[in-house]
Amino acid sequence: MTPESNSKNLETTPQHVAIIMDGNGRWAKERGMPRLAGHRAGTENLRTIIRASAEFGIKYLTLYAFSTENWSRPRAEITGLMHILSDVIDRELDELNQEGARLVHIGHLDGLSKTLQDKVRQAIDLTKDNQRITIVLAFNYGGRDEIVHAIKLMLQDSVNPEAVSPELISQYMFTSGIPDPDLVIRTSGERRTSNFLTWQTVYSEWYFTPVYWPDFNKEELRKALEDYASRHRRFGGLAENS
């Protein structure tokens, strides 16, 4: 199915959608299952949302998979999440590559095993020339950490204070070269930004849904896009008829 046929009821399709994939643990708990089962179910949902996003004509999809604060979770859960990431790369990479998806990582690979780090780098290299959709995986990522990292790089480069501007700072971010998100979606009913793309989302539209991430399907994504299309973005200015 083409982007045009999927977007016929959407007046405006965002170029960049970012998603805080929340609710895996609660989804599992309500079903009497261990938390890791919820993470696996959430991972299985990635395929659905990536394909739906491409069909809707979204060009950039950022997925908040693991934050810098998530290291405080139980060791067994962290180990399980690392295994899930490894399995996803093994199982999905070839098909994503064939479908024209480019994979980008933001955050730090520190803390991952060397084997997993190599897998991530190989996936990035394999898909670097694809253009249908860019999947930005925020793994071991935090918004404040990203800003601190950017400042350190600017100091290392001896940037003249007079040269500092929002545009220059953006060039030192992990997301350099990637447009800021037009729409940020958070599943599970929580209404927090949770240290996600702190610099990049200052004028993003936010959409909160009570649906847990494993149940956030193509139709739920459409609802978010339709809601986005109904809004008027002013970027700090006034509406045209004001």
Q: How far apart are CA 239 and CA 44, in angstroms?
A: 41
Q: Which of 6, 22, 24, 140 is catalytic?
A: 22
Residues in the chain, total: 242
Active site residue 22: yes
Q: Under a CB-based contact definition with an 8 Å cutoff, are residues 112 and 120 in contact?
A: yes
Q: How far apart are CA 63 and CA 226, in angstroms?
A: 20
Q: How far apart are CA 196 and CA 153, in angstroms?
A: 20
Q: How far apart are CA 184 and CA 197, in angstroms?
A: 10
- Token representation of residue 138: 């925020």
Query: Please, what is the end-to-end C-alpha distance for the chain in angstroms?
Result: 40
Q: Which of 6, 24, 45, 70 is catalytic?
A: 70
Q: How far apart are CA 241 and CA 238, in angstroms?
A: 8
Residue 67 pairs in a beta bridge with 141
- Token representation of residue 87: 């399995």
- Token representation of residue 40: 């696996």
DSSP 45: H
Show which residues are catalytic: 22, 70
